[in-house]
Amino acid sequence: MKAKHFRDLQVWQHSMSLARSVYGITQGYPQSEVFGLAQQMRRAAVSIPSNIAEGHGRLSDKSFALFLSQARGSLNELETQLELSIQLGFIEAAQCVSAIQKIDELARMLNALLTTVRRPSTQSR
């Protein structure tokens, strides 16, 4: 399971795909939201792979788990913001079906990786 580089982690690769999707989704937001909800969504989406990468670079399972937990928090934040965007009429639900599927998959992946990282082992990362 030990990856030499964060780019080798599937969870990082999937989170990068989600971030690209969010940039695409938010391109059509009203001008009034360019520095509002759209910007917050982009920051949350970018925060997910960024936290995975930073945590991996810390070289300790405890630190990695903390950053994975922060990535999971950003994932929940992004899901909430997508839902709010639908409720406010900025996007149609159909526009973010793929993003919601990616969020669900990433949540499972992050939870599984967190479980693995938190598991006591005799080897250090």
Is 63 a domain residue? yes
For the chain, what is the domain count?
Answer: 1
| pLDDT surpasses 60 at 125 | no
Question: What CA–CA distance (Å, rounded) separates 80 from 39?
Answer: 14
Is 124 a domain residue? no
Question: What CA–CA distance (Å, rounded) separates 75 from 110?
Answer: 10
pLDDT (tens digit per residue) in 70-116: 999 999 999 999 999 999 999 999 988 999 999 999 999 999 999 99
> Do 66 and 55 meet the contact criterion of CB atoms below 8 Å apart?
yes
Chain centre to alpha carbon of residue 95: 18
Q: What is the mean pLDDT of the chain?
A: 92
| pTM beyond 0.75, yes or no | yes
| pLDDT surpasses 90 at 13 | yes
For the record, the structure tokens of 79 come out as 């899901």
Is 2 a domain residue? no
Is 80 a domain residue? yes
Question: What CA–CA distance (Å, rounded) separates 103 from 47?
Answer: 13
Is 4 a domain residue? no
DSSP conformation class of 28: T
CATH number at residue 44: 1.20.1440.60
Domain hosting 81: range is 9-118
- What string of DSSP letters covers 72-120? HHHHHHHHHHHHHHHHTTSS-GGGGHHHHHHHHHHHHHHHHHHHHHHS-
